[in-house]
Chain A
């Protein structure tokens, strides 16, 4: 059975300022193959930016990743998608 990978990108003030829209473009540019395995959601703030985590923050299958970059996001997802197939 195919479990989808849930990717939640924060588009709140801090994460937006630190480039979350680029992360969303990264998700949109993934090959159809991988995109199929991903469920994307947006959040207006995970409430983790007030000290503990540095924006932009992404939550993948429930785990927070901070200071996310397009490259890191792509790599992470390619790896996870590889594992689920």
Chain B
């Protein structure tokens, strides 16, 4: 009986904040902690505003994120912070409220909310009702949610400043949770991406406040995604007797498959029996065109394309929006594929093409290996898991 192995999941996090009018610092703090099997996000809202609130919320978020980073269980972390958090004697409220969510790579999510607005959970693009469990810890009321998320589900955390937007101005009582929730649902359905949703909603909040925010406001968007893997095969194996073994391994690997190099693609063609199709419409003098092959997502030329890919990746500084359009050429396609990936694996062949030894050629194409290593360095800096294997 075959067992279906579920795709591993990850969480993309994006947030935006507005400071209360006249304040240099935001009284809300967001911290994100990622490790190999989970992603945790803390949103803490300090009492009051300005420096004092900033220090309080930073302290709270810092304690929580440091403990989680060190692998402390979520509930121990909550207990520690609850014990440490003092209560304002006059107002009988805590100095800092918080929401913590932990999303595991199997989609299990745990959320603890202490006095922040309820989270908005969107599953299959529909806002879903999650009944929290109430728990009292040292006299504080905590709401605990436990739910399952899948690819392209969203969770939004917010500080109360988001809901107060419009209070006493455009809208009598602020726009409130109900309205915010249905708006988030609508906008999520439209963009299906966390950044434009958060930006859009925060712009709306800003305009409800008439450009003068009466409170610090923070909106955190979390989008669950499948972990994207890509495997790149470039360069013929040193020993031609290894060709078949390497190709079979490459074709068995999971994820997006890319071949960089004419000779490499010929080897794959010979062993799989699948030919490369190249679209003549896409030919220009800039970079060689790309090809398609069955069960391979992209086939490109080798060193020139890799060199250009490196340049694109370096220039964009980790921001996908600064890459050239995907369909510009082979290098832009490869750069987008690599940027989308969480895990990249390079299979680098060491057989040298004697032509590159030609002293008349520009030195930038001297060594494939060198170029791959520079790309790997960049990808690692972007926080991706990268493997490199020489054959």
Give the interface of A toward B (CB within 8 A). 10-14, 16-17, 19-22, 24, 40-45, 47, 49-51, 55
CB nearest to A49 among chain B residues: B355
Contact A13 B304 (CB under 8 A): yes
Q: Are A11 and B301 in contact (CB under 8 A)?
A: yes
Query: Are A45's CB and B278's CB within 8 A?
Result: no
A17 to B358, CA, bound (A): 12
A12's partner among B262, B287, B354, B361 (CB-CB below 8 A) is B262
Is residue B38 within 8 Å, beta carbon to beta carbon, of the partner chain? Answer: no
**Complex: chain A residue closest to B286, CB-CB:** A21
A43 to B284, CA, bound (A): 15
Nearest B residue to A51 via CB reads B354
Q: How far is the CA of A10 from the CA of B266 in the complex (A)?
A: 12
Question: A45 — which chain B residues lie within 8 A by C-beta?
Answer: 262-263, 265-266
B240 to chain A, nearest CB (A): 12
Contact B266 A11 (CB under 8 A): no
- CB-CB < 8 A to B284: which residues of A? 21
* B356 CB contacts on chain A under 8 angstroms: 13
B126 CB within 8 Å of chain A: no
Whole-angstrom distance between the Cβ of A69 and the nearest chain B Cβ: 15
Q: Which residue on chain B has the smallest CB distance to residue A16?
A: B288
In the complex the two chains form, is B361's CB within 8 Å of A17's CB? yes
Q: Which residues of A contact B266 (CB under 8 A)?
A: 44-45, 47
- Pick from A16, A24, A50 the residue with the most CB of B within 10 Å: A16
Q: Which of B273-290 contact A (CB under 8 A)?
A: 276, 278, 280, 283-285, 287-289
By beta carbon, the residue of chain B nearest A42 is B278
Contact yes or no, A44 B301, CB < 8 A:
yes
Indicate which residue in A13, A22, A47, A49 contacts B365 across the interface (CB closer than 8 Å). A13
A65 vs B348: C-alpha distance in the bound complex, in angstroms?
31
- CA–CA, A19 to B286, complex, Å? 10
Other 9 A-B pairs with CB < 8 A, given A42-B283, A44-B265, A44-B301:
A11-B289, A12-B263, A12-B301, A16-B287, A24-B283, A40-B280, A41-B278, A49-B355, A50-B355
* B303 in the interface (beta carbon within 8 A): yes
